[in-house]
Amino acid sequence: MTIIIDWELISAPKDFFSQFLPQVKAPEWHGYNLNALNDSLVTGDINGISPPYEIKNINFLLTQDTLTDFKHGVIQIFVDSASRHAGTRISITS
C-alpha cells in the first residue's frame, strides 16, 4: 500500500489529515491530532488498511514555517510505525 502526502497542499494540520486518513481507510471517528495518528499507525488495528505501508512525502520543503513542529511530529510517528511494522518504508523528497 502506497500513501502519498503532498506537503505543498497542506496549510494546516486538518489538511494533512484530510489527505492521509482516506488513504488508510480510517474510521470516521479518527481524531485529527498527532496522538490519534500515533495510535492508528504505531499501535494499529484502527484503520481499514494496516501496515506495512510505503509512505511517500513529496514537496516536503514547500510547507509553511508555522507547520514545522507538526510536520516533524508526523515524520516521527511515521518512523516509529516503520520501526514497529516490518516492511514499512518512508521517503521524503523536497
The number of folded domains in the chain is: 1
- pLDDT tens-digit profile of 55-78? 999 999 999 999 999 999 999 999
Residue 44 has pLDDT above 90, yes or no: no
The percent of residues above 70 in pLDDT, for the chain, comes to 100
Residue 34 has pLDDT above 90, yes or no: yes
- CATH code, domain with 34: 3.30.370.10
CA distances from 90 to 1, 6, 27 (A): 12, 13, 23
pLDDT at residue 38 in the model: 96
82: confidence class by pLDDT, cuts 50, 70, 90: very high
| Residues 55 and 19 sit within 8 Å (Cβ to Cβ) | no
Range of the domain at 50: 2-92
Alpha-carbon dihedral sign for residues 19, 44, 70, 80? negative
